[in-house]
């Protein structure tokens, strides 16, 4: 049943020194965890990030503005790419009410996979909007739940996808298929990088 | 799926106690995928979470993995990590910074790694 068991490793190489991130985002139950599990060398783990936002305005006493805490749970898996690079895959809820946390949670991500169920295309509108707005490159992967067959053209139209955004069909339960989705994303990133004429500013040194 | 979400049962009081009520700027340096490596063994009398982190990080371990292992929110984990970092008990391997787009070499390495899966 679990085809990756033989390849599971619990610890990273002692030489591992560069963590990379890809986000898998999509509506409820669309197969995010399944996709992560299919390619991960560890059983997906879950954790949560708590965000504290200063409340609007300051109270009359001139004290600290009220703060509200919001908690978002997410799961993740891991792929050791080579002696130095380790890729972490994050499954993140794509609902509007979680989305304001996205920038903080996944800053520095290579790119994103938007997983969609073609029976519920509208569930992914918001995620696509935000990724476009944020300038994060992404691919759209249609997870096969055996719904009515749509052509790629119909799906592109319903999602109002830009021509350059790759659209693929997948089965998140399959390791090979999920791996292909990730490869499509990285190839897309390569073409985005190749086309970007702006020189890369020197990054700020880590504090 | 069957595991309860971490942190759920922790009262704010307990989380407050763990960190001494601090929220600290230095902890922002820890990205979700910063790899943490223990530089020393736990010592008797150490806060148990600090000792757990040192045991967990004998090999490089990402901040998110530490958080999941501790069953604590990432924000709290970052503060505990900053404590250990300040005292030289852990070292941190931060992701190579890329300003907006990743560089070509990294993408090539990712692609090779994925194709070899
Ligand atoms: N038929 C079919 N079922 C799938 C596929 N991928 C996932 N599923 C099933 O769909 C259900 C939901 O999958 P999950 O991976 O838990 O979805 P998720 O997006 O992580 O769900 P949430 O985190 O709750 O939003 C599970 O029962 C999966 O077995 C697929 O490609 N085809
Ligand atoms: Mg899930």
Span B82-101, pLDDT tens digits: 999 999 999 999 998 665 67
Give the model's confidence band at A77: pLDDT under 50 very low, under 70 low, under 90 confident, else very high.
very high
Q: Name the residue range of residue A43's domain.
A: 15-50+69-195
Going by C-beta distance under 8 Å and a sequence separation of 6 or more, which residues neighbour residue A121?
A155, A158, A159
Asked whether B66 and A22 are in contact (CB, 8 A), the reply is: no
Q: Does the pLDDT of residue B1 top 80, yes or no? A: no
Is A136 domain-assigned? yes
Mean pLDDT lowest for which of A17-31, A61-75, B10-24?
A: B10-24
Is A2 domain-assigned? no
Ligand 1 centroid, distance to B25 Cα (angstroms):
38
Span A126-178, pLDDT tens digits: 889 888 988 899 999 999 888 778 899 999 999 999 999 999 999 999 999 99
Is A63 domain-assigned? no
CATH code for position A184: 3.40.50.300
Is A42 domain-assigned? yes
Residue contact A189–B102, C-beta within 8 A:
yes
Q: Does the pLDDT of residue B28 top 80, yes or no? A: no
Q: Does the pLDDT of residue A206 top 60, yes or no? A: no
Q: Is residue B114 within 8 angstroms of chain A, CB to CB?
A: yes
**pLDDT average, residue stretch B2-29:** 56
Domains and CATH numbers, chain B: 12-115 (1.10.10.10)
What separation in angstroms does the CA of B42 have from each of A53, B37, B47, B54? 35, 13, 9, 6
Q: How many structural domains does chain A have?
A: 1
Q: pTM of this prediction? A: 0.85
Is A59 domain-assigned? no
Closest approach atom of ligand 1 to CA A174: 31
Say what the pLDDT of residue A171 is. 96
Going by C-beta distance under 8 Å and a sequence separation of 6 or more, which residues neighbour residue A106?
A21, A23, A90, A92, A112, B32
Ligand 2 centroid, distance to A182 Cα (angstroms):
18
Is A179 domain-assigned? yes
Per the prediction, chain A carries an average pLDDT of 84
Asked whether B14 and A193 are in contact (CB, 8 A), the reply is: no
Residues having C-beta closer than 5 Å to ion ligand 2: A 32-33
Give the model's confidence band at B5: pLDDT under 50 very low, under 70 low, under 90 confident, else very high.
very low
**Higher pLDDT among residues B100 and A113, named by residue:** A113
What is the predicted ipTM? 0.83
**Higher pLDDT among residues B69 and A104, named by residue:** B69
Say what the pLDDT of residue A105 is. 66
Residue A152 tokens, joined: 């790629």
Give burial (CB, 10 Å; 0-12/13-18/19+) of A178.
buried
Say what the pLDDT of residue A72 is. 83
Say what the pLDDT of residue A31 is. 96
Residue contact B33–A16, C-beta within 8 A:
no
Is A168 domain-assigned? yes
What separation in angstroms does the CA of B81 have from each of A12, A27, A79, B7, B51? 19, 33, 23, 17, 11
Residue contact A207–B101, C-beta within 8 A:
no
Q: Does the pLDDT of residue A203 top 90, yes or no? A: no
């Amino acid at each position: 049943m679990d085809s990756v068991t033989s390849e599971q490793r619990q610890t990273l190489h002692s030489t591992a020194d560069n963590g990379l991130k890809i986000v898998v985002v999509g509506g409820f139950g669309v197969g995010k965890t399944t996709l992560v599990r299919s390619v991960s060398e560890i059983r997906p783990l879950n954790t949560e990030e708590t965000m504290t936002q200063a409340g609007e305005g300051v109270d009359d006493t001139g004290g600290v503005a009220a703060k509200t805490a919001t908690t978002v749970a997410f799961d993740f898996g891991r792929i050791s790419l080579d002696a130095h690079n380790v890729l972490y895959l994050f499954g993140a809820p794509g609902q509007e009410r979680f989305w304001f946390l996205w920038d903080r949670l996944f800053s520095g991500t290579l790119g994103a996979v938007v997983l969609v169920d073609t029976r519920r295309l509208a569930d992914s509108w918001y995620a696509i909007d935000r990724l476009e707005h944020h300038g994060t490159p992404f691919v759209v992967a249609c997870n096969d739940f055996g719904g009515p067959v749509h052509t790629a053209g119909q799906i592109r139209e319903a999602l109002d996808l830009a021509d350059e955004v790759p659209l693929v069909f997948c089965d998140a339960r399959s390791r090979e298929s999920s791996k292909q989705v990730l490869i499509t994303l990285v190839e897309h990133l390569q073409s985005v990088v190749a086309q970007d004429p702006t020189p890369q500013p020197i990054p700020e040194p880590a504090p | 799926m069957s595991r309860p979400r971490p942190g759920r049962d922790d009262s704010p009081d307990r989380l407050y106690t763990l960190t001494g009520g601090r929220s600290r700027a230095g902890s922002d340096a820890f990205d979700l995928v910063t790899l943490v490596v223990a530089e020393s063994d736990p010592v008797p009398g150490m806060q148990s979470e600090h000792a757990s982190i040192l045991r967990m990080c004998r090999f490089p371990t990402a901040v998110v993995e530490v958080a999941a292992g501790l069953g604590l929110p990432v924000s709290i984990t970052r503060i505990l990590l900053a404590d250990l970092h300040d005292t030289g008990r852990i070292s941190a391997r931060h992701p190579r910074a890329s300003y907006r787009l990743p560089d070509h070499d990294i993408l090539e390495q990712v692609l090779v790694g994925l194709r070899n899966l």
